[in-house]
Structure formats: C-alpha cells, structure tokens
C-alpha cells in the first residue's frame, strides 16, 4: 500500500471498520513505514482526546432521532451532490472539522437543556477524568510472572528499531526502544500488556544474567506513585524497592518509564540513567 492511501484510511483502521484483508495490509505497512506509524500514533492520540472531550452525561430525548429523520425526509431533493469536505482538504482538516461540529452539536443541546428548566449541576464527561495511580505491585507481579513462565516475545529482539516499529503499530503510540548493548544489556524482545485498564509497552533485557523489564506507559492515562526522588546525571528519577525488587521511574515527554529488576537500587539507577540519556529508536 502507498503512504497516501494508508493515511487516508487511518481513521477507519483505528475505528476497526476495515475488512480483515485491508486491515492486515495496512498493519504490515505501518510496521515497515516509520512515517505512517508516527501519523497513526498522532491520530490515535487526537482521537482519544476528542473522545474524552465528547463524553457527556446528557442524554438526548427518545423522540430526537424520529424528529431528525422526519425533518430530513421533508427536505426537497437536491439536484447537485456536493462533497462533505472540499476535495483538497487533508485528513487532519476533515477530522478537525468533524470534531468541531460534534462539539457544537452537543454544546447546543446541553445549552437548550439547561434553559428548558433542567439545569445541569455538572457534566462529568466534559471534565478531565482523574488518572489512576500506577500500582508498582502489578509491575512487579508481571515481571516475576514473565520470569517464572517465559513465553516467546510478541516482537523478538535484538534490533531496537524493528522492535520499536512493530510495538508502535500494535499499541498506537510511539514506543521508544533504547539500545543498551554498550552497558551489557541485550534486548530480548517486547510485548504489549494491559495494567489497570491501560495498554503498556513491555521490553525485556538480559543484563549480564540479570533480567530487566522496562515498561513504557502514556503519562496522560496513568500517573506514577510517590517514590523517593533522586537526581542522577542531571535528571530526576524516582526510586523504590519492595519484596526484593527495585523500581526506577522517570518521565520523557508524555511518557512514563519504569525499570524493574532484582538488582541493587544504585546499580539499576545507573542503567536507567543510561537508558534515559540515550537516543530512542524510532
């Protein structure tokens, strides 16, 4: 598939509206094309923001659909068909126009509902929902379970760029994969998992015989717990230990990173410092 067609079909792909054959071809293209994968990640992020903004507790009356359909049937037939969007509009312009129209529609209905005598004390869907706090115990359990029952990686290593492309197409957000071979940590592979209802990128390294798990999580969906803040190499980290495991957390852009291992805190912090300072594969 060509990039132009892929980007024109991304909205249908993210909505799960494509036929299985076309969906598979588009997914294969995203795995091999960093440019289209980045566009897909940006569009998925925009789609999530719009979806969150449009959630509302206001319910339309049961007769609304019937009135709309009756009004549409009364409209005279048009002799000339016009496109919904100008032919030169990009997919971003079309998506933005649709989002604005939906916001105006819901806002207009909510205003009319308020003036009708049923004032809304609050509309929870229009407020930013509270983000859950990440449970490090879940990460620790996931790390130990994977070590006790090793399974073939969904995306095998050791090529960081290949793992990054494949994981990005699976998770719909840019997955940063760092090459830690200079530090003696070999990338074994990656997989996607779900923790507290949030999709997470999981990377596994072999660090001189010690297994190290690195989790990447969208900061806008889940927050990090309060751990001991530590400055290392000019960067802020949060370090904690429980049940024989060490956790080192840091942020980069809109992403949270959590490194988990049985190594000593000082030793794992040095590896995390290298991981946070290296160039991320894309």
Whether 265 is covered by a domain: the verdict is yes
**HSE (side-chain half, CA atoms, 13 Å) at 175:** 28
Q: What's the token pair of residue 40?
A: 């897909």
Whether 165 is covered by a domain: the verdict is yes
- pLDDT tens over the chain, length 282 residues: 788 888 888 888 887 788 888 888 888 888 788 788 888 878 877 766 665 555 555 556 667 666 777 777 777 665 554 444 455 555 555 665 666 555 555 555 454 444 444 443 333 433 444 678 888 888 899 899 888 887 777 888 899 999 999 999 888 788 989 899 999 999 999 998 888 888 899 999 999 999 999 999 988 888 888 889 999 988 899 999 999 999 999 988 888 999 999 999 999 999 999 998 754 443
pLDDT at 266: 94
Q: How far apart are CA 273 and CA 161, in angstroms?
A: 20
17/147 same-domain check: no
Taking alpha carbons only, the member of 141, 91, 134, 101 closest to residue 245 is 141
Whether 248 is covered by a domain: the verdict is yes
Residue-range definition of the domain harbouring residue 105: 3-60+87-126
218/243 same-domain check: yes
Q: Do 217 and 134 touch, CB atoms closer than 8 A? A: yes
Q: What is the DSSP string of 209-273?
A: TEEEEEEEEETTT-B----EEEEETTEEEEEEEETTEEEEEEEETTEEEEEEESS-HHHHHHHHH
196/235 same-domain check: yes
Q: Do 206 and 192 touch, CB atoms closer than 8 A? A: no
Provide the CATH number for the domain around residue 267: 3.30.200.100
Q: For the chain, what is the domain count?
A: 2
Q: Order the strands of the 255-261 sheet from edge to edge.
A: 155-156, 185-195, 198-207, 210-218, 255-261, 245-252, 235-242, 228-232
pLDDT at 128: 43
122/146 same-domain check: no
Whether 203 is covered by a domain: the verdict is yes
* Residue 278 neighbours by CB under 8 Å, 6+ apart: 178, 179, 180
144/244 same-domain check: yes
């Amino acid at each position: 598939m060509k990039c132009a067609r892929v980007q024109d079909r991304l909205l249908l792909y993210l909505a799960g509206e494509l036929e299985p054959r076309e969906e598979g071809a588009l997914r294969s293209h995203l795995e091999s094309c960093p440019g289209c994968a980045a566009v897909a990640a940006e569009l998925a992020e925009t789609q999530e923001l719009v979806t969150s903004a449009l959630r509302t507790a206001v319910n339309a009356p049961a007769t609304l659909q019937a009135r709309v359909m009756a009004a549409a049937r009364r409209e005279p037939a048009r002799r000339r068909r016009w496109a919904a969007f100008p032919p030169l509009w990009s997919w971003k312009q079309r998506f933005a126009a649709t989002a604005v129209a939906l916001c105006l529609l819901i806002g207009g209905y909510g205003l009319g509902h308020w003036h009708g005598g049923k004032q809304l004390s609050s509309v929870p869907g229009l407020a930013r929902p509270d983000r859950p706090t990440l449970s490090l115990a879940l990460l620790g359990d996931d790390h130990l379970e994977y070590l006790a029952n090793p399974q073939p990686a969904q995306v095998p290593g050791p090529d960081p760029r290949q793992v990054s492309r494949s994981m990005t197409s699976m998770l719909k957000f840019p997955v940063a994969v760092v090459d830690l071979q200079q530090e003696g940590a070999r990338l074994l592979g990656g997989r996607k998992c779900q923790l507290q209802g949030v999709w997470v990128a999981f990377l596994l390294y072999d660090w001189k015989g010690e297994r190290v798990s690195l989790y990447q999580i969208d900061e806008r969906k889940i927050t990090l717990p309060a751990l001991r803040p530590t400055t290392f190499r000019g960067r802020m980290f949060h370090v904690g230990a429980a049940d024989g495991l060490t956790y080192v957390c840091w942020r980069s852009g809109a992403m949270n990173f959590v490194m988990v291992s049985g190594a000593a805190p000082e030793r794992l912090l040095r590896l995390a410092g290298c991981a946070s300072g290296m160039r991320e594969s894309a």
